[in-house]
Amino acid sequence: MAKVTVDGRAIEVPDGANALEACRAAGVDVPHFCYHPKLSVVGQCRMCMVEVEGMPKVQASCTVPIRDGMVIRASSERALAARNATMEFLLINHPLDCPICDQAGECKLQDNAFDAGLPVSRTSEHRRLVPGYERTEIGPHVVADMTRCIQCTRCIRFCQEITGTGELTFVERAGHTFVWTHEGKPLDNDLSACAADVCPVGALTVKEFRFRKRVWWLDKTRSVCDGCEVGCNLSIEFKDRIVYRFTPRVQPAVNDYWLCDYGRFLSERLNEPGTTRPIVTGPGGEKRETNWGEALDAVKAAVDRAISDDPSRVIVVGSARLSTEENWLLARLFRDSLKVKNVEFAVDEGPPRRMKRGNDWVYGTEAAPNSRGAEAAGVRRSVSGDGSRLDLLLSKKNSPPAVLYVADASLSDRVSDPAFVALLRAASVLIVHARVKNALSEAADVVLPAANQSGKEGTFVNRDGRVQRFDMAIVPPPVVRTDLEILLHLGKLWGAFDTAWTASDVFGRMKGSVSGYADLDWNSDDLVGNPPSASITSAYDVLGLERRPEDEVFTRPSVTAPDVKP
């Protein structure tokens, strides 16, 4: 560690930090653009200027490695004048696009312009133009507008250093410099939308989000991606029951600052029309909507009947998409209370997803987030030698199940295969929790409408055994229940559960018997991870230090933007 003084405050900073990070540690948020904790330092934007005692000229703080005893003046008149100068230079060519630019509200140029720069413009010259390079798609998910680019090279460095794909480059030089791809090689890699994340202005924006919502209207909730078992931390951003986008939350233990395109654009899945009312099937095969009471009674009746006949003909299928709490309730109810032996789950092998963590790629090969949690909760992982995992479960050819209880109707991609649906349909009574209508829910005898991932809270265990909590964003519509609630209400019919339990209550009850959960605290920050940050590109995580409210008054000499609470 080294002792450094910033604006008169003495602090200790880890060796290897730079002066910008040291200022951050001392509570001084020096404005910057090109610096990013996960990318190489280039010192190009010249925004983060400070004075360092012993160095005669102003310095770009991100380029100054700290030394023990260093004295930094981040808020002296000279430092402020230097930053004002850079801000003025950036604004002379930047278009006045704020009214039509997606980035407004989470734009570093806007934010930094509050801290630095002149309140008026001194230029009357024509602005730089880049005809042909405005609002053009440069990749399947990214729209580029080079009039807005401030040439910070974050996107270029992202593609070179993080994904290693190198699709972006500086083109031309001097005042004509801009960023583009090479003909025929668009910005197309599995993390491509992160290039728009790192862009501090609206030069690169996400196509799917374009013009949909002003970011200051968006409510944000901490969640975890349910696309694979890597378990990237993300923020569900929504307003009035519509999910507008996912953005990554910073989590060095899992996904750094990134989110893969596949996981990011699963957000639209949460807007799909769901199943709306419980459905039961009459004796003549006619399906009708009903209420929860009748539906759950029908389930109980069928299960009781089957168990009294032959419990081995009851098969319960959990899911790696359900939380550990939900899987645990499933196992407690059927296996422990009702003595049903066949409580299993199987998870599809997905196309391999990958995520950059530090300098390494980590891979997710399962198509669901919580196989380890399901297993730890007591639902047996069904594996078979020939790869058709679930079929083994169901291929008791001579006697199809009397009751097949499927706690997730989207348990596999194979539900779009009529043969697979037929296999499950062979059960005498088919009961499903369904988030959306699909072939399996259409075929089921009892359909219990379940909330999608935005309406639930619980924990997933990722590929590394890390337990991560996700929170509810949108209260499910009136008649839809979370899988947790469904199981509590069902279990109550047998006296096994209390419907007053919340997910956190279930968590507390299951801790003792689920491996990996013993020492965890539902309310701890560790479990849920970092808050969605107003600007995910800020240098929050590097030194693990928290923002202290009293620091805000320390250095702002001019108008301060209203603090946007995460």
Instruction: Considering only residues 179 through 218, tell me which ones interact with another protein, judged by CB under 8 A.
Output: 180-186
Q: Which two tokens stand for residue 2?
A: 């080294």
Asked if 170 touches another protein (CB under 8 A), the answer is yes
Segment lying near another protein (by CB under 8 A), choices 125-133, 202-210, 321-329, 331-339 = 125-133
Asked if 421 touches another protein (CB under 8 A), the answer is no
Segment lying near another protein (by CB under 8 A), choices 8-16, 120-128, 220-228, 354-362 = 120-128
Q: How far is the CB of 185 from another protein (least distance, A)?
A: 6
Asked if 96 touches another protein (CB under 8 A), the answer is no
Query: Which of 158, 507 has the CB closer to another protein?
Result: 158
Segment lying near another protein (by CB under 8 A), choices 42-50, 211-219, 341-349, 403-411 = 42-50
C-alpha closest to that of 101 among 145, 53, 131: 145
Asked if 565 touches another protein (CB under 8 A), the answer is no
Residues near another protein (CB under 8 A), total: 71
Order the strands of the 380-381 sheet from edge to edge: 287-289, 279-281, 446-449, 429-434, 403-406, 314-317, 342-345, 380-381
For another protein, the binding residues in 139-158 under the rule CB under 8 A are 150-151, 153
Which H or E run includes 491?
helix 483-493
Residue from 2, 71, 85, 545 touching another protein (CB under 8 A): that is 85
- The residue assigned the tokens 């003084």 is 5
Taking the CA atoms of 383, 385, 386 and 391 in sequence, report the sign of the dihedral they define. negative
Query: Which of 157, 489 has the CB closer to another protein?
Result: 157
Please tell me what DSSP assigns to residue 415.
Answer: G
Segment lying near another protein (by CB under 8 A), choices 170-178, 250-258, 402-410, 527-535 = 170-178
Query: Which of 136, 515 has the CB closer to another protein?
Result: 136
Rounded to 10 degrees, the C-alpha dihedral 501/502/508/509 comes to 30
Q: How far is the CB of 115 from another protein (least distance, A)?
A: 12
Residue from 1, 92, 242, 383 touching another protein (CB under 8 A): that is 92
Residue from 14, 95, 140, 166 touching another protein (CB under 8 A): that is 166
Residue from 122, 273, 359, 478 touching another protein (CB under 8 A): that is 122
Spatial contact of 15 and 2, defined as CB atoms under 8 Å apart: yes
Query: Which of 150, 402 has the CB closer to another protein?
Result: 150
Q: Which two tokens stand for residue 285?
A: 């095969």
Query: Which of 81, 564 has the CB closer to another protein?
Result: 81
The string of DSSP codes covering 512-535 is GGSTT-TT--TT-HHHH-PPPPSS
Query: Which of 17, 484 has the CB closer to another protein?
Result: 17
Q: How far is the CB of 46 from another protein (least distance, A)?
A: 5
Asked if 77 touches another protein (CB under 8 A), the answer is yes
Q: How many CB atoms lie within 10 A of CB 544?
A: 9
Query: Which of 165, 281 has the CB closer to another protein?
Result: 165
Residue from 5, 44, 271, 504 touching another protein (CB under 8 A): that is 44
Asked if 383 touches another protein (CB under 8 A), the answer is no
Query: Which of 153, 319 has the CB closer to another protein?
Result: 153
3-state secondary structure 85-119: HHHHHHHHHCCCCHHHCCCCCCCHHHHHHHHCCCC
Please tell me what DSSP assigns to residue 160.
Answer: I
Asked if 124 touches another protein (CB under 8 A), the answer is yes
HSE-up of residue 244 (Cα within 13 Å, Cβ side): 19
Order the strands of the 142-144 sheet from edge to edge: 136-137, 142-144, 204-206
Q: How far is the CB of 102 from another protein (least distance, A)?
A: 20
CA max distance for the chain: 90
Which H or E run includes 360?
strand 360-366
**Rounded distance between C-alpha atoms, residue 296 and residue 293, angstroms:** 5
**Rounded distance between C-alpha atoms, residue 380 and residue 335, angstroms:** 10
Q: How far is the CB of 10 from another protein (least distance, A)?
A: 25
Asked if 121 touches another protein (CB under 8 A), the answer is yes
Query: Which of 75, 533 has the CB closer to another protein?
Result: 75
Which H or E run includes 366?
strand 360-366
C-alpha closest to that of 203 among 148, 157, 135, 155: 148
Q: How far is the CB of 267 from another protein (least distance, A)?
A: 26
Query: Which of 153, 482 has the CB closer to another protein?
Result: 153
**Rounded distance between C-alpha atoms, residue 522 and residue 467, angstroms:** 10
Asked if 43 touches another protein (CB under 8 A), the answer is yes
Relative to beta strand 403-406, strand 314-317 is parallel
Asked if 559 touches another protein (CB under 8 A), the answer is no
Asked if 343 touches another protein (CB under 8 A), the answer is no
**Rounded distance between C-alpha atoms, residue 514 and residue 82, angstroms:** 57
Segment lying near another protein (by CB under 8 A), choices 22-30, 112-120, 225-233, 320-328 = 112-120
Q: How far is the CB of 449 from another protein (least distance, A)?
A: 44
